[in-house]
Amino acid sequence: MTSNYAHQLEIRGVSALIGEVIPMDTWAARMQVPDRKGAGSLSGARIQEVLGVEGKSWEPALFGRPETITGVARAALASAKLNPDDIDALIVVTCTAFELNLGQDGFRFARELGLRDDAMVFQLEAGCGGLARAMHVATGVRASRILVLAYNLPSPITQRLDQAANPVYLQNRAHPMKDLLWASPGIFSDGAGAMVLERTSTDEGVSFYSRDQRAFGDGPGFRDPIVHYLGGGALRPVGYDENEQLMGYVMSGKIIAEYYNKGMLLNHEMLLSLRPSYVQDMRRIYTHQAGPAMVRKFVDISGIPEEKAPTSATRLGNLVSPCTIHLLQEDIDAGRVATGDEVCFEVVGAGPERGAFTLPYRVRETVQTRDFIPN
């Protein structure tokens, strides 16, 4: 193992939360996605056929409240048996912030949690690959205890409090990728997760990160950002009618498939070069849940045993950055991961960016996350 990739962090606390899990028929009835090749709206069966997703975590009333995310962070601290004053840095990972600009979400959660004023706050505007960047930051920052907080909020953005769907996603004629807009709320789901990382005195884990914009493996750099959100900044400011319909997330389906398939294999190959026995050594290997078909293909091609690589993409959709933390929480609750086990995270996402890391799991106590969510 090279020192450039070794790190001294371990997991000491975990918390994860999803919303009400609804079948695709229910989601389709709520959203009324127009059938652009026929009359009426897309059925749940048709959406499931296209996306491969059978159910979704979808609860606007729960995930439209910042207090919910604060509760997830509090539960992770309780799991680590730590107080807010014990945390030296907060790393927030999201592409669906409650408030835009100036890192207001990060400052909000630091304030609501009661972190020390000298605790550093890093807000990473990141999608599915965000945990790799967060780990890269965590390994380099001068901090002994780090709280990583990740969340994804598609339901309050696209269907506030179970009312009619946001027309930007359904009746959009201005966005250059307008026909794909519906697929983003269709594949993405509500979720939040938090981990407390603690620095130790031994180099037990490995971690690496890549943007892939100069080179993608042995090929040219990857130029497409994968997820397109064109409106809202200085180039296309809010307040101009022609820019409003550009404020929607569009995932380029063919592009993400290309980046996921090759990017995850590059992650796997890099881990093998750093630690040839990593597949055998890890208790579980958590892969990003971009979509059911992509996850199955990677596990099959890589040769990772299916029993080591849990999946939630079919039953929950894509939780974005919290998905791997949620899989870890499910394994903890089911007794499949215990204190002393080593686990691995392998992710790719918009930007583009990707990376992977291994680390020991040494949690002091498990907690019920919902006990920390205010009514």
3-state secondary structure 326-357: HHHHHHHHHCCCCCCCEEEEEEEECCCEEEEE
Q: What is the pLDDT of residue 229?
A: 86
Q: What is the pLDDT of residue 7?
A: 94
Nearest C-alpha neighbor of 357 from the set 278, 304, 289, 294: 278
**What's the pTM?**
0.95
Q: CATH 3.40.47.10: does it fit domain 6-359? A: yes
Q: Which residue bears the tokens 């371990």?
A: 10
Q: What is the pLDDT of residue 3?
A: 67
- Please state whether beta strands 21-23 and 55-57 pair in parallel, antiparallel, or not at all (unpaired): antiparallel
Q: What is the pLDDT of residue 19?
A: 96
Query: How far apart are alpha carbons 86 and 31 in whole angstroms?
Result: 44
Q: Which residue bears the tokens 């498990």?
A: 366
> What tokens were used for 86?
């014990």
Sheet containing 145-152: give its strands across. 9-18, 191-199, 145-152, 89-94, 120-125
Q: What is the pLDDT of residue 1?
A: 42
Domain ranges of the chain: 6-359
Nearest C-alpha neighbor of 92 from the set 59, 129, 134, 52: 134
Q: SS3 breakdown of the chain: % helix, strand, coil, rounded to 5?
A: 40, 25, 40
Query: How far apart are alpha carbons 3 and 177 in whole angstroms?
Result: 44
What is the chain's pLDDT, residue by residue, as a tens digit (375 residues)? 456 899 999 999 999 999 999 999 999 998 888 887 777 888 999 999 999 999 999 999 999 999 999 999 999 999 999 999 999 999 999 999 999 889 999 999 999 999 999 999 999 999 999 999 999 999 999 999 999 999 999 999 998 776 778 888 887 888 888 888 888 889 999 999 999 999 998 888 999 999 999 999 999 999 999 988 888 888 888 888 778 888 888 888 788 889 999 999 999 999 999 999 999 999 999 999 999 999 999 999 999 999 999 999 999 999 999 999 999 999 999 999 999 999 999 999 999 999 999 999 999 789 999 999 998
